[in-house]
Structure 1
């Protein structure tokens, strides 16, 4: 395993960045509902920012706390995907890709949380 020296090296942050990039690039009916679009973007941005913010914390306990917040934001993104689906704001391919990316991101975050908890 390569040594992690900066938050950009974290796979969970890389996945969160990819998810955020996708969320910000969405077009179509979502662009007409500013409040939903804004909340969706802020929730995705919160994932990667909390991972980054927690990276330089001194204790694993603090790092885990920020990762748990990132995990919660990922769940918010997932919930919002359902809203967007129900409102027909996105096409099926977009929904599938978003669900896949949010689940991959959550899995990477959870993996890091487990690693830090076992590391003690």
Structure 2
């Protein structure tokens, strides 16, 4: 299976695109750079991990993606508080981030890793 076929990659890809669109006109370049980097990191690390040969390597990069989605959710909540995102848009993004995090956790759990 290609990483592009994974639902978690598709959803994180769409979320990253949405983040870029939402922050396109943001003048706080530091915040904009940080939130877009964390959003971009999720589908990118899923892709990197899925292209690796061993289950351990896949797990490692999925774990990085899971950390990045947590970072994105945190930054989204802050963006709501400082009025960079409306509450409705911010909650939609935060909810999607939670769902993606759960999907990553399930995918990591299903990898067959020798412990």
TM-score greater than 0.5 by the shorter chain? yes
- What is the aligned partner in structure 2 of residue 71 from structure 1? 66
Structure of higher RCO (CA pairs closer than 8 Å, 6+ residues apart): 1
Checking the alignment, whether the CA contact within 8 Å between 2:62 and 2:108 is kept in structure 1 is yes
Task: Compute the RMSD of aligned alpha carbons.
Answer: 1.9
Offset, 1:117: 4.0
Distance 1:66 1:27, change over 3 A: closer
Q: Which runs of 5+ in 2 are unaligned?
A: none
Offset, 1:118: 6.9
Give the number of aligned pairs.
115
Q: Which runs of 5+ in 1 are unaligned?
A: none
- What is the aligned partner in structure 2 of residue 49 from structure 1? 44
The residue correspondences of 1:1-120 to structure 2 (distance < 5 A) are 5-27=1-23, 31-117=26-112
Tell me the TM-score normalized by structure 1: 0.88
